[in-house]
Amino acid sequence: MPTPHDALPFPTRPVRRVVIAGGGTAGWMAAAGLSRALGKAVEIVLVESEEIGTIGVGEATIPTLMTFHRLLDIKEQAFMAATQATVKLGIQFDNWRQVGHRYFHSFGTTGKDHWMANFVHFWRRGREEGVAEDYDQYCVELLAALENRFAHLPRNGVNYAYHLDATLYARYLRRFSESFGARRIEGRIVDVLTDATTGFIEAITLADGQRIEGDLFIDCTGFRALLIGQTLGVAFEDWSHWLLNDRAFAVPTVLAGDPVPYTRSIAEAGGWQWRIPLQHRAGNGIVYSSRHMDDDTARSTLLGSLDAEPLRDPIQLRFRPGQRQRYWHRNCVAIGLAASFVEPLESTTIHMIQRGIVRLLQSFPDVITPEGIDAYNAQLAGEMEHVRDFVILHYHATGRRDTDYWRTVATMDLPASLQARIDLFRETGNVFHVPMELFAENSWIQVMMGQGIEPRQFHPAARVMSPPDLARFLRDVQVQARRTVDGLPRHGDYLRQYCPAP
Ligand code: FAD
């Protein structure tokens, strides 16, 4: 959609000063990435307001965070100790397919794939022959999660992510960024000044009168979207017709017992609850649709199901799912909640923050051009739409019809891209991974099967083996997974020795 700036000329000024507005997870991850990679070439200033604070949630991650840390040369043990992190091997979904049903989306690979056909085809034939166990029995990460075990393994390691304390993470990244030359300014932004000729942002003004000029501005002001939305007028594409939830309550509790290495997601009548164990406490919350569950019911559902003492009153959050029509406009790049948001069901926001930063570093301009901006926007929007489809899948492919909420999601029209994915899998058992798409075949298959979509056919490659060979193959994979898991220590014991709290 065009904006009033589109006909304006681009200045030829080189980018030497970067101003990051906002110091939540997005702001400090951006400061860390930029200062580590380009701190010697560009000046980096971050402005944040303690008075406004951060959103204060965002504790579950996915394995890609490790790539970001590797780029920055962040040491895992120090990071995990500083953020009280635990290991996350996946997500357990309770009551999503049916009340009383449970499945697991793990970060691991299930079984062994053939170049022609995913393991699911061999498993399907094994089921027909009566020689295959439950699909879950062929995945190391899934079995380890449910038995509360974890260790780093030297060969074919266990694939994992983290649960972390978001406030401690921002603090950790602040120290990191400052050590690479980023400068922090405390203050409330009260004005954003643009140039009438170019539509570029010239400076931001703080409540104490300070004026901070820059060549490139990164909007990390969260849902306020002070620069990209309020100042530059870039519209928000709303996805609430697919993703009904628009509110949440969050509350920390003391930790009941040893932390388990997975997130729990428990479906409710009009939303779902999360449970995220850290080393020092647990994060809990309920995400719900205000059209289907009132605030009092959501709050009491959350408080009534906690298994430990709350550490404070629940905080309420309101949100709208969707994305900016442009992630980068003129000399402003939005990262984090200012750019896009889908609910935390698959813990994808920190990942999208990281993608925004890595893409920005890869496309970092000497002089900003419309071509560079268009390429960046196409990449980010494409990645976000894949994430959106994957999250919608969990709702639509449900057998639940017990409330208006579940009847609505089960019968709604889908994005064409998602409908095609589901149809292909149901008919053929195939999922084809698209380049740069976050979730790979294993994730799609685990969630489709977990939600009750079973493929009608299997690939003829699974018929090449004789029935005894197929039975032996399946048994070997299962025995190997079992042996690996049996050799792992308890997750809590491992953390106490690997990254004890400072
Ligand atoms: P914020 O944390 O809101 O930070 C905004 C910053 O801008 C703050 O520093 C604020 O002070 C500053 N600011 C704003 N206005 C001004 C101003 N006028 N002047 C100066 N500074 C200003 N993500 C995950 O990856 N995993 C999860 O498990 C997860 N769970 C979530 C649960 C819920 C219910 C919600 C709503 C989100 C969740 N998220 C999760 C998303 C997560 O919150 C974000 O990934 C993360 O917190 C990034 O936020 P942010 O930095 O963009 O915004």
For the segment(s) 17-59+165-241+321-368, the CATH number from 3.40.50.300, 3.50.50.60, 3.30.2350.10, 3.50.70.10 is 3.50.50.60
Average pLDDT over residues 206-231: 98
CA–CA separation, 484 vs 501, rounded Å? 28
pLDDT at 284 over 90: yes
Percentage above 90 pLDDT, the chain:
93
Percentage above 70 pLDDT, the chain:
99
Q: End-to-end distance of the chain based on CA atoms, in angstroms? A: 50
Mutation test of ligand 1: which of 61, 349, 350, 391 has the most ligand atoms closer than 8 Å to its C-beta? Answer: 349
Q: Does residue 23 have a known ligand-binding role?
A: yes
Q: Are strands 282-288 and 271-277 parallel, antiparallel or unpaired?
A: antiparallel
Within 6 Å (CB) of ligand 1, which residues are found? 22-27, 47-49, 52-55, 57-61, 166, 188-189, 220-222, 224, 226, 248, 250, 285, 287, 317, 319, 336-338, 344, 347, 349-350
CA of 220, closest atom in ligand 1: 52
**CATH number listed for the domain at residues 89-155+247-318+398-502:** 3.50.50.60
Q: Does residue 88 have a known ligand-binding role?
A: yes
pLDDT at 313 over 90: yes
Q: Does residue 39 have a known ligand-binding role?
A: no
**How many angstroms does the Cα of residue 334 sit away from the middle of ligand 1?**
12
The reported pLDDT for the residue numbered 5 is 78
- Count Cβ atoms within 10 A of the Cβ of residue 502 and give its class: 0-12 exposed, 13-18 middle, 19 or more buried: exposed
Q: Does residue 233 have a known ligand-binding role?
A: no
- The residue contributing the CA closest to ligand 1 atom 9 is 23
Give pLDDT tens digits for 426-471.
999 999 988 888 999 999 999 999 999 999 999 999 999 999 999 9
Q: How many C-beta atoms surround the C-beta of residue 466 within 10 A?
A: 9
Which amino acid is it at 166?
Answer: A
CA of 27, closest atom in ligand 1: 51
Looking at every residue in the chain, the average pLDDT score rounds to 95
CA of 52, closest atom in ligand 1: 11
Question: What Cα–Cα distance (Å) separates residue 323 from each residue in 293, 335, 361?
Answer: 25, 11, 21
- Count Cβ atoms within 10 A of the Cβ of residue 70 and give its class: 0-12 exposed, 13-18 middle, 19 or more buried: exposed
Q: Phi and psi dihedrals of 149, rounded to 5?
A: -125, 150
CA of 285, closest atom in ligand 1: 34
**How many angstroms does the Cα of residue 166 sit away from the middle of ligand 1?**
9
Fold identical between 17-59+165-241+321-368 and 89-155+247-318+398-502? yes
Summarize the chain as % helix, strand, coil (round to 5): 40, 20, 40
Point out the residues that are catalytic: 88
* Spatial contact of 68 and 358, defined as CB atoms under 8 Å apart: yes
CA–CA separation, 298 vs 304, rounded Å? 10
CA–CA separation, 446 vs 142, rounded Å? 11
Name the strand (E) or helix (H) holding 212.
strand 211-213
Average pLDDT over residues 257-280: 96
The reported pLDDT for the residue numbered 1 is 67
Q: Does residue 337 have a known ligand-binding role?
A: yes
Which amino acid is it at 367?
Answer: V
* Spatial contact of 450 and 97, defined as CB atoms under 8 Å apart: yes
**How many angstroms does the Cα of residue 161 sit away from the middle of ligand 1?**
20
Name the strand (E) or helix (H) holding 87.
strand 86-88
Q: Phi and psi dihedrals of 440, rounded to 5?
A: -90, 180
The reported pLDDT for the residue numbered 393 is 98
Name the strand (E) or helix (H) holding 65.
helix 65-72
Handedness of CA 207, 205, 380, 421 (dihedral sign): positive
pLDDT at 2 over 70: no
- The domain segmentation of the chain, as residue ranges, is 17-59+165-241+321-368, 89-155+247-318+398-502
- The residue contributing the CA closest to ligand 1 atom 38 is 58
**How many angstroms does the Cα of residue 215 sit away from the middle of ligand 1?**
24
pLDDT at 81 over 90: yes
pLDDT at 156 over 80: no
**Which of 1-10, 125-134, 200-209, 247-256 bottoms out in mean pLDDT, i.e. has the lowest?**
1-10
Average pLDDT over residues 472-480: 96
Mutation test of ligand 1: which of 46, 47, 54 has the most ligand atoms closer than 8 Å to its C-beta? Answer: 54
- CA angle, 159 then 162 then 164, to 5°: 175
262: tokens are 């997975």
The reported pLDDT for the residue numbered 182 is 98
Q: Does residue 178 have a known ligand-binding role?
A: no
pLDDT at 68 over 90: yes
**Which of 220, 200, 163, 481 is CA-nearest to residue 335?**
220
Which amino acid is it at 476?
Answer: D
| Predicted confidence band of residue 501 (pLDDT cuts 50, 70, 90) | confident
CA–CA separation, 332 vs 348, rounded Å? 23
| Predicted confidence band of residue 303 (pLDDT cuts 50, 70, 90) | very high
**How many angstroms does the Cα of residue 475 sit away from the middle of ligand 1?**
46
User: Coil, strand, or helix at residue 456?
Assistant: coil
* Spatial contact of 86 and 245, defined as CB atoms under 8 Å apart: no
Average pLDDT over residues 360-376: 96
Report how far Cα 58 is from the mean position of its chain's Cα atoms. Answer: 9
CA–CA separation, 15 vs 490, rounded Å? 50
